[in-house]
Amino acid sequence: MVHSKDNLKTIGPQAARLVTTLQERRHLAFTLPEVMQITGLKAASASSFIRALVNRGVAARLRPGLFQLVPFELGREKEYLGNPYMVARELMAGRDYYVSHASAMDIHRMTTQPQLVVYVASPLARRKRAIFGTEFRFIRCPRPRFFGFSEQWVDKQNKVLASDLERTVLDGLKAPEYCGGVSEVAKGFWMRRSDMDVRKLVDYALRLDISAVTGRLGYLMELLEIGTENDRTTLQERLGKAYVLLDPTLPAEGKFLAKWRLRLNIAAEELRAVLQT
């Protein structure tokens, strides 16, 4: 609950009605048209009303035209972000998206690293933005590759669209720079290995059809002993001829592995050691 009934008495009847209605709708974030619809105010009056709410610390401005209720116990806090994944959902304003990469790893409990950036995949190009010290970065995902996500709980009452476990691994192998590197992806893969649908993982990889991802996935499945020999053979058959780095965020060094068309710039022993940390 953001504001209790006792607290609502101190902010005036119109503001109380707005807060109560937004809470009933489970809309902690809101827009000018929503305020106009709930209060019956015209645009200019509604804008002044919202400005007063922000000045009193009842709401915080996330971006032009988008605001969020502030928990009453925070007092006159004007820089309240709340749950960053819910903010990401609101920033997309109904457009296609899913929370991705390191942020999805966080939602799926695949990482122990603190998250300072929120990653969002979308077929639409959007510029990154910073809100109250948190950066929101939008990764463009072409329509044919925009799949593998579902609703995930981010608190007791709210869900956002996020990549499922299998797609999270593949996004991490495609762009390790958004996940802390291949070692972090491997660690997350290992942490949730018993919940992973290997058939779905392989099917997704074939559907993405990116040779670098296929090779990295096959190598990790072999190293971590996940899936069957048949699964790995299926992946092997879809490899290209070019060699790629196991981790493109690290220097180009290490031995070449023909089986997976990889240059192993992280040693197998080093990867295994990471899994124990």
Please state whether beta strands 98-99 and 59-63 pair in parallel, antiparallel, or not at all (unpaired).
Answer: unpaired
Q: What single string gives the DSSP state of each residue in 148-213? A: -EEEEESSSS-EEEEE-HHHHHHHHHH-GGGTT-HHHHHHHHHHTGGG--HHHHHHHHHHHT-HHH
CATH code 1.10.10.10 for 5-74: yes
Q: What does the pLDDT look like over 160-206, one tens digit per residue?
A: 999 999 999 999 999 999 999 999 999 999 999 999 999 999 999 99
Is the model's pLDDT at 9 over the cut of 60? Answer: no
- Predicted TM-score (pTM) of this structure: 0.84
Q: What's the rounded mean pLDDT across residues 131-147?
A: 95
Is the model's pLDDT at 113 over the cut of 50? Answer: yes
75: left (phi over 0), alpha (psi -120 to 50) or beta: left
Lowest mean pLDDT among 20-24, 125-129, 174-178: 20-24
Q: What percent of the chain has pLDDT over 70?
A: 94
Q: What percent of the chain has pLDDT over 90?
A: 73
| Alpha carbon distances (Å) from 23 to 36, 77, 84, 87 | 16, 19, 18, 16
Is the model's pLDDT at 58 over the cut of 60? Answer: yes
Q: Which helix (H) or strand (E) holds 244?
A: strand 244-245
What are the sequence ranges of the domains in the chain?
A: 5-74, 81-163, 165-277
Lowest mean pLDDT among 66-80, 81-95, 139-153: 66-80
Other Cβ atoms within 10 Å of 130 Cβ, number: 10
Q: What is the pLDDT of residue 208?
A: 97
What is d(CA 79, CA 68) in angstroms, rounded to the nearest whole number?
10
- pLDDT-derived band at 77 (thresholds 50, 70, 90) equals low
Report yes or no: 192 and 220 within 8 Å, Cβ to Cβ. no
Angle, CA 107 vertex, CA 104 and CA 108 arms, to 5°: 85
Mean pLDDT for all residues in the chain: 91
Is the model's pLDDT at 2 over the cut of 50? Answer: no
Is the model's pLDDT at 235 over the cut of 90? Answer: yes
The amino acid sitting at 260 is: W
Q: What's the rounded mean pLDDT across residues 7-11?
A: 49
Q: What is the pLDDT of residue 243?
A: 97
Q: What's the rounded mean pLDDT across residues 82-94?
A: 91
Q: What are the tokens at 129? A: 């933005």
Q: What's the rounded mean pLDDT across residues 264-277?
A: 90
Q: What's the rounded mean pLDDT across residues 250-272?
A: 96
Q: What does the pLDDT look like over 198-225, one tens digit per residue?
A: 999 999 999 999 999 999 999 999 999 9
Q: What are the tokens at 204? A: 């997704």
Q: What is the pLDDT of residue 11?
A: 64
Q: What is the pLDDT of residue 8?
A: 43
Q: What is the pLDDT of residue 105?
A: 98
